[in-house]
Amino acid sequence: MITSYFGASWYGLPPRNYLIASYFTLYPTSVGSVHIKVGDNGKEALDITTGYLDDASDIVPLNFAYKKTREIFRRMPSYRGEASTRHPRFPQGSAAACGEASGPVNLNAPDIIYTAEDDEAIDNFHRDNAQSTWHSLGTCAMKQEADQGVVDARLNLYGVTNLKVADMSIVPLNVGTNTNSVALLIGEKAAMIIAEDLGIDCTECPSWWENAPAGLSNVSSG
């Protein structure tokens, strides 16, 4: 078992069959920032701060998830131990140390007990290894302007006329779901808003489902 988002080869582990576990905080408290800076030479440069784990509370669910995932995996029939290089560096002699195993532990086996030093190792592991899942969003959040919002409820940019934003940047808070599906939804809603702004009546437009291939329209009505 390794804790990772990518496969074993990514980390130079010897070729074997591995089972990978990864866990995510869907609603982190930490917030990063993105700014465009124009330098003295007139060229634009990005100024990005990810803010990962800046808020102390964000590491708590990661630490919990690490321990819980380990308990689940070591009870699985396929369990043959842990690749220690992709785990926290527990102090020598720690009861939480990782290693090879001949098989799973008993379902009723007691949970691993972690000392304060072990907890610190888990903390450090997450700070050194936490990665993005590339679901960054909200840089032009739809909120009140006084609340640092960038667009209003009809996607208009505050302070600029005839400019709308319609992508994941308008999302005011993180979404605990597939970001791509939300991006498509925003695009569809934006099309309706823009049509309304242009005075185009969309109520008479046939829906995609009405012209969908036979099999698919059955699915929609079922």
Ligand X SMILES: Cc1cc2nc3c(=O)[nH]c(=O)nc-3n(C[C@H](O)[C@H](O)[C@H](O)COP(=O)(O)OP(=O)(O)OC[C@H]3O[C@@H](n4cnc5c(N)ncnc54)[C@H](O)[C@@H]3O)c2cc1C
| 166 touches 150 (CB < 8 A) | no
Q: DSSP letter for 187, please.
A: H
Two structure tokens written together for 32: 């990063």
Element (H, E) at 20: strand 20-21
Q: How far is the CB of 182 from ligand X (least distance, A)?
A: 8
The alpha-helical segments, DSSP class H, found in 82-170 are 116-129
Near ligand X by CB under 6 A, which window of 5-13, 104-112, 164-172, 190-198? 164-172
Question: What mask of x and - would describe binding to ligand X in positions 36 to 55, judged by CB under 6 A?
Answer: --------------------
Element (H, E) at 49: strand 44-49
Tell me if 30 contacts ligand X by CB under 6 A: no
- Dist. CA 201–CA 195, nearest whole Å: 7
- Considering beta carbons, is residue 144 or 178 the nearer one to ligand X? 178
Out of 128, 134, 199, 214, which residue is the one contacting ligand X (CB under 6 A)?
Answer: 134
Beta pairing partners, 34: 48
Near ligand X by CB under 6 A, which window of 5-13, 39-47, 54-62, 177-185? 177-185
Tell me if 178 contacts ligand X by CB under 6 A: yes
- Dist. CA 213–CA 216, nearest whole Å: 5
Tell me if 152 contacts ligand X by CB under 6 A: no
Out of 63, 167, 175, 193, which residue is the one contacting ligand X (CB under 6 A)?
Answer: 167
- Dist. CA 106–CA 108, nearest whole Å: 5
Out of 183, 190, 193, 194, which residue is the one contacting ligand X (CB under 6 A)?
Answer: 183
**Nearest 5 degrees, angle CA 143-CA 144-CA 146?**
130
- Considering beta carbons, is residue 97 or 183 the nearer one to ligand X? 183
- Considering beta carbons, is residue 32 or 81 the nearer one to ligand X? 32
The catalytic residue positions are 135
Binding site for ligand X (CB under 6 A): 134-135, 167-169, 178-180, 183
